[in-house]
Amino acid sequence: AQSVTQPDIHITVSEGASLELRCNYSYGATPYLFWYVQSPGQGLQLLLKYFSGDTLVQGIKGFEAEFKRSQSSFNLRKPSVHWSDAAEYFCAVGAKRTSIQGGSEKLVFGKGTKLTVNP
């Protein structure tokens, strides 16, 4: 079954420092990969996604992620963190359903990484 592992439950960085959030996935074929951000009391917002092509993906708010098939990873990066980036970040894989299950795909999320930004 498809799964996503986010090894870091909580990360603290200083404002202006660089950031890398780790994500490893388990999937038999080329995956659809996503990063979402969830601020307190808010729903999830899509930061970026990877389906195919260029393995370095640019997203909103200055985030980028790199797909590495050999490492089954899709790590999220930002060169300089702002205080407003403090939130919880979720990596997700698009898991294909069988035709009996209705076809298409569904999102399978990791457990998330909470980011704290120190001034």
Partner 1 sequence: EAGVAQSPRYKIIEKRQSVAFWCNPISGHATLYWYQQILGQGPKLLIQFQNNGVVDDSQLPKDRFSAERLKGVDSTLKIQPAKLEDSAVYLCASSVGLGLAYYEQYFGPGTRLTVT
Q: Which two tokens stand for residue 25?
A: 């996935």
Q: What's the min distance (Å) between Cβ of 109 and partner 1?
A: 3
Q: What's the min distance (Å) between Cβ of 52 and partner 1?
A: 9
Q: How far apart are CA 98 and CA 59, in angstroms?
A: 30
Query: What residue has token string 């980036």?
Result: 85
Q: What's the min distance (Å) between Cβ of 103 and partner 1?
A: 8
- Our CB check for partner 1 shows the closer of 17 and 46 to be 46
- Our CB check for partner 1 shows the closer of 93 and 117 to be 93
Interacting residues with partner 1 (CB under 8 A)? 4, 32, 34, 41-46, 51, 90, 92, 94, 97, 101-107, 109-112
- Our CB check for partner 1 shows the closer of 103 and 119 to be 103
Tell me how far CA of residue 115 lies from CA of 10, 29, 40, 112, in angstroms. 6, 30, 12, 10
- Cα dihedral 48, 20, 78, 42 sign: positive
Q: What's the min distance (Å) between Cβ of 14 and partner 1?
A: 25
Q: How far apart are CA 110 and CA 18, in angstroms?
A: 22
